[in-house]
Chains A and B, each alone.
Chain A
Amino acid sequence: MSTTTTAPARPRPTIGWTRQVLRLARTEFTLFVRYKTAWMFLALPLFVSVMTLQLPNDEVVPGFGTSDLALVASIGTAGLILGIGHPSNVFTARRESLVLKRLRVSGVPQTVIFGATIGVVLLFSLIITALVGGAIFALSGALPRDPLMLVTAVILSGVVFSLLGLLLTPLVRNAEAAQMAAMVPMTILLFVGGGVIPLEFLPEGVRQVVGLLPSVPAGEMAQAAYTGHDVFGGFADAREKSLPGLWVAALPSIGVMLAWTAVLGLLVRRYFQWDPRRP
C-alpha cells in the first residue's frame, strides 16, 4: 500500500449558509403545513391564549387587567409549545428514518438543518403573536408600546425552546415517544411561565426561582413591551419607562434567555444524535 498521499483539493463552487437555511426552511414550511401534529402544536398556544380570558381582570397596570396581562404573556407560550413540540417530534422521526443522515451525507451542515427548523418555529410563533396581538387589539384596543421588544421576546423564546426540543430527541426512540416526552417540560414550563397562572399569584420566593426558567422572561418581556411598564419585578411596583429604560429593565430577562440559549446549544452540540444506530 502507498503512503497516505491524497488527491489535491480542487476548487469547487460553494453555497452560502444563509441560502441553504432559507431553502431548507422553505421545505420545512411546506412540511409543517402537511404535518397534522404540527397543526396541533400550532393550535395549542391559541388555546392557552383563549384560556387566559377566563381569568379575573382586575386592573394591575394602568389600562391592563390580570387577564389582559396573562393574555399578553401567553404570547411567550407560542415559542414554548412550538419550540419544544415541533423539533422534538420531527427530528426524532427523521433521525430514525435516516432523513437527517441523508441530509448530512449530502453536505448540508448541522447548523443549516437546525437553523431551518428553528426558522419555521420562529415564523409560526410570530404568526401566533400577530393573531394574539390582533385579539388584544380587538378586545382592548391596545397595541404594543415596544414592538421590537415583543418580537425579540418571541424570537429568543423560539430559539431557547427549539434547542430544548432538540435536546429531548436523544432520550426517545420514535416520534410518538417524543410527543409524550415533550409534554413533560412543556406542561411544567407553561404552568410557571405566567401564561396560564399569573406570576402575581405565586409567592415571591417561588417567583424568583421560576424567573430563572426560560419560560418566564419571554412572557414578562411581552408584558413590558405592551404596557411600557417595568413589570420584571412584579406588577405591584411596576413603573412606566421610556423605551431605552424598558430595555435596560429587560436586560436580566434577556440575559437569562441568552444563558439558556448558550447552555442548551452546547448540550445539543454534545448530545444530539444524527444516527439511529446506538452503541
Chain B
Amino acid sequence: MTTTANITEAGTGGQGTAADPTVVVRDLHQHYGDFEAVKGVSFEIRPGELFALLGTNGAGKTTTIETLEGFRRPGSGTVRVFGLDPYGQPTGVRERTNAVLQGSGLLEDLSVAETMDLAHDLAADPADTDEILELVGIADERGVAVRQLSGGQKRRLDLALALITRPEVLYLDEPTTGMDPEARHETWRIISGLKEDGVAILLTTHYLEEAERLADRLAIMHRGEVRVEGTLTDVLAGWGDRVSFLLPADVRTGDLPDLPGAEVAVESRDQELWATYTAMGDDVSDRAHHTVAALIAWAAEHGTTLKHLQVRGASLEDVFLRVADGAADLVHG
C-alpha cells in the first residue's frame, strides 16, 4: 500500500517553517453555567507534530477539541487555527481541517462507497477514494451498508472520511476505540505517516500506549486543568525510575542506604517487605544504572543478596493514575 504522502497536502511545501504552530490555544476557559469545564488550557501544535491530550472522563478534553473544531466559542482566552478564530468554521479553516469524532457520525442507510463518494464530491481538494479505502483496510467493504459494518470497521471508515479531504490539521478523538489490536496498529502506522507528511494532529485517547507511541508532546488534563505537560521523556523524567527488591530477612528498614538522587520506600506485599528506590535525577538515561550499581555495591559490602531485583521506568500509566488520584502537582516539561 502507498504511504500517506499522496493523500495529504501538508508536507508539499509552503507550510511555513517548523517553528510556526498551526494550532494555538492560549489560556482557554470554558464554562457551562457555573461549572468551569476548562480552566486556562494552553498548547500549540506545529506541522508534523502530534499533541496528545489525555485525561480522565470529564477532564475537559472534548470541550477543548470542540472549541478547536469551531463548535464552541471560547469563554475566554484565544484559540487560533491557521491564525484564524475557528468558531463557526470560517473559510480558511474548514477546508484545511478534519476530525475523527468520538462517535462515528455515519449515515447508516448509505453504503461504504456511497459514503465515501459523497465525502469526496463535497471536498474541495479530495484524495482518491479507492486509495483511501485501501489505506484504512476496508476496500473490500465498498458495497456493504454502513449499518452492517462492525464497530472497528466503522472507525476505519471514520478515519477514511477524515483523510479524504487531505487535512493539514487533524483532530483525532479516541480514533481507535472499538478496533482490534491489528487494526489499531495499522491505524498507528497511518497516523505516523500523516505526521511525516506534515499534518498537525491533536489526539485524545484512553489507550496510553497509543499516546506513548505516537505523541511528540502530551498533556494530561484533570478537572479542566492541564496537570502535566511536555514530551514523553520530560513527563516520565518527572516521575523517576523505580528499583525494587525483596528486603533481605537480615536487613532492617533503617539499615537501607541513603542514595543520592533517590528516595526509598518500604511496603508490604503478600506479607513480605519490599524496598523501592525511586531515582529522580535529571540524568534520565543513567539514573537507574547509578541507583542499581550503588545498591549492588551496598549488598556486596553487607554480604546479602537483593532478591527479585526489578528495575522499572515510570510509565505514562503511572503518571496518569497519579494525576487521576489528584496526587500530581503541576509539571510542565
Contact = CB atoms under 8 A, between A and B. Distances in A.
Interface stretch (A100-108, A182-190, A203-211): A100-108
Contact of B80 (A4, A94, A98, A106): A4
Contacts, number: 138
B141 interface: no
B150 interface: no
Contacts of A18: none
Contacts of B47: 7
A59 to B, nearest CB: 48
Nearest to A96: B103
Contacts of A100: 105
A30 B80 contact: no
A270 interface: no
B119 A23 contact: no
Contacts of B78: 4
Interface in A1-50: 1-2, 4-10, 12-15, 20, 23-24, 27, 30-31, 34-35
Given A6-B24, A27-B118, A106 B71 contact: no
Interface stretch (A81-89, A151-159, A242-250, A271-279): A271-279
Categorize the interface residue count of chain A: 35 or more
Interface residues of B, number: 58
- Most chain B beta-carbon contacts within 10 A, residue among A2, A6, A8, A35: A6
B118 A24 contact: yes
Interface of A: 1-2, 4-10, 12-15, 20, 23-24, 27, 30-31, 34-35, 94, 97-109, 112, 274-275, 277, 279
A-B interface, 7 closest residue pairs, ranked by CB to CB distance from nearest: A102-B105, A98-B105, A279-B32, A6-B83, A7-B16, A107-B94, A105-B99
23 contacts: A1-B44, A4-B80, A7-B20, A9-B83, A10-B14, A23-B118, A23-B121, A24-B118, A27-B110, A27-B114, A35-B109, A97-B106, A99-B106, A99-B107, A101-B71, A102-B105, A104-B89, A105-B99, A106-B165, A107-B165, A108-B122, A112-B122, A279-B33
Interface of B: 9, 13-16, 19-22, 24, 26, 32-33, 35, 42, 44, 47, 62, 66, 69-71, 78, 80, 82-83, 89, 92, 94-99, 101-110, 114, 118-119, 121-125, 158, 161-162, 165, 168, 171
